[in-house]
A and B are shown apart, each in its own frame.
Chain A
Amino acid sequence: MSLFDFIAIPLFQKAFIGAFLSGAGLSLLGVVILNLNLTTIRFALMHIALLGAAISMVLGFPPLAGAMAGIVIASLLLGPAGDFLNMDTGVSGVLFMTGSLGLAFLIFYKAGVPAMDAFALFSGSILALSTFEVWVIGGLAVLIILVFFLFYREIQMVLFNQELAESLGVPAKGIRNALLLLTGLAIGVNIRMVGVLLIDAAVLLPALAALSIAKSLRGALLLSAVFGIVSQVGGVAFSMVYDFPSGASITLAAVLMVCLAAIYGYIVKTIRR
């Protein structure tokens, strides 16, 4: 089957649309994660998703509902908890991560819920996206782009130096907490798309590539979106045509983007010398 044959099938159309929207919108948050030193946060949120799923299953609800609720609640709490404990948000994330994992295993053991059903959440697939999930990804992508468009200067200040932003009168903590919430939602949605182990490919790698060559935050955001779209849509297309797993293809496409950006950066630097 050629790529065009695949595109004609609704199931694959949804995968392409989901990949495009995720690349265009959700990749932008990688810039936030890298600049606010939140790389531990995504692990924390994944484990909190597991705890949410465990609680949800004990209460008789679908595990995904609990996982998303857990991510939203934790995203709202991470910033204020770090402030209260006088810890860097990344460090408080470690506390959330280990604490939630311990609690999740306690619940699995005591309540006798099947742990594998909760862990199944971690193996997402872009080909399994429902129409509703595509709408959710689209809505979130639009929200993220809108937030960056409306509050570009304020976000720039918070990412540059949070304390400085506060001293200029910018409500830096509020903006940081809002970005954390969006990051949590993006991670939650991406878990469904590529699975938990490959989430860095969707969220972090496009931003990593963009930041290695961009000269401004605006440039980093635009490049992040471009790399996100190319790696996600390109990865899905490659997986269809050559019959590879979609998550792995997206990841490898994103790794390729980082390598190409690094080579480009090196060439530019050498020429300037």
Chain B
Amino acid sequence: MTREAVVEIHGLVAGYGRHQVLQQLDLTVWRGEALGIAGNNGAGKTTLLKLILGLIAPQEGYMTVLGRMLDSSRVRRLMRRQIGYVPQLHTPGKMPVSVHDAVLMGRWGKGFGFFKRPSLRDRQKVTEILQEIGMSHKEWQEVHLLSGGEQQKVSIGRALVREAPILLLDEPSTYLDHGSQTEIVELIRAVRLKHGLSLIMISHDPEHLDVMSDRILLLKNGRLEER
């Protein structure tokens, strides 16, 4: 049986202006794999995630997501629909947003969008995911009133509701207390198995990745190395 690549990167050079963060980087992520990428702060981990998400374009080299070359901003925007993204835990602002609405955001571009309101199916999908991540009882609570672990669950829920085959996680368990870390790790393992997801996780601490990854690479001097 041949393995299928979900993300392929070859000779990739990327950075901001003249400052090159990633240099001649090669990477293949296989379908169903859980890949951990570790590296110090400033090593370029977040830049790599932004490239895969198509938020920035490479200066050299090429990359494909699900076999589709990310060679234009249109394709990059389109392929974002195939990726669920769990950003670093951030302090929510003052704006009141319910857990339901925060998860529903993940359906943008998938179910609803410009001039198209969320459908019953979008709402049902949110309810299903909230049950799966154990947040149904807090469906109408405001996100900024939740604990860090619960906010991270909401982020994972938002990524899952996209029904995307690839999940990108930026420091998924790093800034949580021990109890919440364990819960998040278990949740990530469970949803990966249930949905058959390919995971790419980054963290500055390899220990956080050990328990969740099949393979861990180290990002150092702009290149990936086997750990």
Asked if A153 and B96 sit within 8 Å, CB to CB, the answer is no
Residues 9-50 of B contacting A (Cβ, < 8 Å)? none
A164 to B93, CA, bound (A): 13
Q: Which of B53, B98, B105 has the most CB of A within 10 A?
A: B105
Whether B90 contacts A161 by the Cβ 8 Å rule is yes
- Across the interface, B53 reaches (CB within 8 A) one of A154, A161, A167, A170, namely A167
Whether A156 sits at the interface, judged by CB under 8 Å, is yes
Contact B80 A168 (CB under 8 A): yes
On whether A157 and B105 interact (CB within 8 A), knowing A167-B53, A215-B142, the answer reads yes
In the assembled complex, A220 has its CB within 8 A of some CB on chain B? yes
Q: Which residues of A contact B55 (CB under 8 A)?
A: 166-167
Q: How far is the CA of A154 from the CA of B116 in the complex (A)?
A: 11
CB < 8 Å neighbour of A153 from B80, B112, B142 = B112
Q: Are B95 and A157 in contact, with the CB atoms below 8 A?
A: no
Asked if B95 and A215 make an inter-chain contact with CB atoms under 8 angstroms apart, the answer reads: no
Q: Are A168 and B87 in contact (CB under 8 A)?
A: no
Q: Which residues of A contact B90 (CB under 8 A)?
A: 161
The answer to whether B114 touches A217, judged by C-beta atoms less than 8 angstroms apart, is no
A157, A169, A217: which contacts B96 (Cβ < 8 A)? A217
The reply to whether B87 and A217 form a contact with Cβ atoms under 8 Å apart is no
- Is B109 in contact with A215, judged by CB distance below 8 angstroms? no
A237 within 8 A of B: no
Q: Does B106 contact A (CB under 8 A)?
A: yes
Q: Is B163 an interface residue (CB 8 A)?
A: no
Contacting residues of chain B (69-117) with chain A, CB-CB under 8 angstroms: 77, 80-81, 85, 87, 90, 92-98, 101-102, 105-106, 108-109, 112, 114-115, 117
- B96:A211 contact, CB within 8 angstroms: yes
A214 to B97, CA, bound (A): 10
A-chain residues with CB within 8 Å of residue B118 when the two chains form the complex: 153
Interface SS of A by simple majority = helix
A154 and B93 alpha carbons, distance in the complex (Å)? 16
- Which range contains the number of A residues in contact with the other chain? 20 to 34
* Contact across chains for A168 and B98 when beta carbons are under 8 A apart: no
From B87, B93, B108, contact of A169 by CB (8 A): B108
Taking CB atoms and an 8 Å cut-off, the chain A residues in 189-235 that contact chain B are 211, 214-217, 219-220
Q: Which residue of B lies closest to A36 (CB)?
A: B93
| Cβ-based interface call for A150 (8 A) | yes
A137 to B92, CA, bound (A): 33
CA gap between A151 and B154 in the complex, in Å: 23
Chain B CB count within 10 A is highest, among A31, A154, A160, for A160
- B47-61 with Cβ < 8 A to chain A: 53, 55
Q: Is the CB of B96 within 8 A of A219?
A: yes
CB of A13 within 8 A of chain B? no
A262 → chain B, closest Cβ, in Å? Answer: 14
- A163 lies within 8 A of chain B by Cβ: yes
Within 8 A of B (CB), among A143-173: 150-151, 153-154, 156-157, 159-161, 163-170
CB contacts (< 8 Å) of A123 on chain B: these are none
- What's the Cα separation between A219 and B106 when bound, in Å? 21
In the bound complex, CA of A127 to CA of B205 (Å): 63
Question: Once the chains bind, are B87 and A161 in contact (CB under 8 Å)?
Answer: yes
Considering the complex, give the chain A residue whose CB is closest to the CB of B162: A168
**Most chain B Cβ neighbours within 10 Å, of A150, A157, A169:** A169
In contact, A160 and B97 (Cβ under 8 angstroms): yes
Choice from A159, A165, A170, A216 contacting B98 with Cβ under 8 Å = A216
Instruction: Decide: B114 and A151 in contact? CB cutoff 8 A.
Output: yes
Complex Cα spacing A170 to B80, Å: 10
Residue on B nearest A152 in the bound complex, by CB: B117
CB pair B95 A211 closer than 8 Å: yes
**20 interchain pairs, CB-CB under 8 A:** A31-B95, A35-B93, A156-B97, A156-B105, A157-B105, A161-B92, A164-B105, A165-B105, A166-B55, A167-B85, A168-B85, A168-B105, A169-B77, A169-B81, A170-B108, A211-B96, A214-B96, A215-B98, A216-B98, A217-B97
What are the 9 closest A-B residue pairs judged by CB atoms, nearest first? A169-B109, A169-B80, A167-B85, A35-B95, A168-B108, A159-B95, A215-B96, A160-B97, A157-B105
A residues with a Cβ closer than 8 A to B are: 31, 34-35, 150-151, 153-154, 156-157, 159-161, 163-170, 211, 214-217, 219-220
